[in-house]
Amino acid sequence: MTGAAELRSRTREFLAAHPPATTGRSEFLGARFDAGLAWVHYPAGLGGLDAARSLQAVVDAELEAAGAPDNDPRRIGIGLGMAAPTILAYGTEEQKRRFLRPLWIGEEVWCQLFSEPGAGSDLAALGTRAVRDGADGDWVVNGQKVWTSSAHIARWAILIARTDPEAPKHRGITYFLCDMTDPGVEVRPLRQITGEAEFNEVFLSDVRIPDARRLGPVGEGWKVAQTTLMNERVSIGGMRLPREGGMIGPVARTWRERPELRTHDLHQRLLTLWVEAEVARLTGERLRQQLAAGQPGPEGSGMKLGFARLNQEISGLEVELRGEEGLLYDDWTMRRPELVDFTGRDAGYRYLRSKGNSIEGGTSEVLLNIVAERVLGLPAEPRNDKDVPWKDLAR
């Protein structure tokens, strides 16, 4: 078993052979992946060394101290946080070797084709169809997806589609890897409350996907998708932050730098939210330690719930604290951003954008059910459509 001392030594040897100051960024990242220092808990040959997940921090600290470039994780977050762990869990060896390296290096951006206009909170009700065609085994996909982050810059997508309308909704779904440059894939911008078009809707018209890009068995896409969703909620709600990282930072700085804005009532609310943000940060650290021993579980849903609520309450407090200034919003432009930037914008942007936190990555209502049933062990809500064929469901 690779230990901390051995990893530290490996990393220093790697840095000596690939000095960050004189090695091109792409070359450095590719060499890092090949050396097993990308995500050390992955298998050897796939960016890792079969080491404990917690030891990634040892590698990262050495690389950061040496000024090494990172792989722009925010830009490729869907690939890193959702696509990669799902491909690792369910992909063939050929799929793992084809997709994981360019994904981690950032050569290929990924998006997620899950939600639909009629299947958001009830994702298993999705209606996008994939039909087997001909002796070559291709699948022909038709349907519409919505709320797709990064679709306008993505090369690949993780896609779930219905392959058996005769089966109950959770059992007739199959998981695919879709090439966003294929004929029949159309991406349209969705303008949000912020004025931007960070999200997209995606139309799939007779898109042909080879069976070799199916992930997992036919009809078991819901099981595969659960791996994606659990990892997604951890990646959204369990980000590693320093103290006063995230939304609480700008509010705390404004409070310190603008004493004329302070009131007793706002002070009490700020103290409460500061403590809650710190508790959430430390809980996230504990969750990541638990992840080092296994796969994400339903606890990530609780973290994501807290993330959404805190962001909305903190951004609301910031607008109140700034008074008339808080109502100003000068970014009302039809931009197509690659990244969501909460801290580098004004208070009005943060207030508006945080409204989406309780929807993206699973609505808060759905996550409350998950926490109630899978964490607290409470009785499940009655579901009268569990065994009804999808084609017979009311829509």
CA 19 vs. chain centroid, Å, equals 31
Selected catalytic residue, list 116, 198, 201, 232:
232
User: 200 by DSSP, 3-state: which?
Assistant: strand
> Angle CA(251)–CA(252)–CA(258) in degrees, nearest 5?
85
d(CA 194, CA 179): 29
Cα separation, 286 vs 282, in Å, equals 6
Q: How far apart are CA 331 and CA 256, in angstroms?
A: 25
CA atoms within 13 A on the CB side of 54: 12
What is the SS3 assignment for 211? helix
Answer yes or no: 276 catalytic: no
Which among 163, 148, 166, 154 has a CA at the least distance from the CA of 209? Answer: 163
Contacts of 240 (CB under 8 A, 6+ apart): 284, 285, 288
The residues, ordered by sequence, that sit 6+ positions from 137 with a Cβ below 8 Å of its Cβ are 210, 211
Tokens 């930072």 found at: 249
Enumerate the H helices of 180-339 as residue ranges. Answer: 221-237, 248-257, 264-291, 299-322
Write the DSSP symbol of residue 48: B
Distance from the first to the final alpha carbon of the chain: 53
Phi, psi of 287 (to 5 degrees): -60, -40
Task: Please give the Cα distance from 160 to 123 (Å, whole number).
Answer: 10
Q: Name residues whose C-beta falls within 8 Å of residue 373's C-beta, 6 or more positions apart in sequence.
A: 379, 380, 381
Dihedral sign of CA atoms 9, 14, 20, 22 in order: positive
Which residues are annotated as catalytic? 232
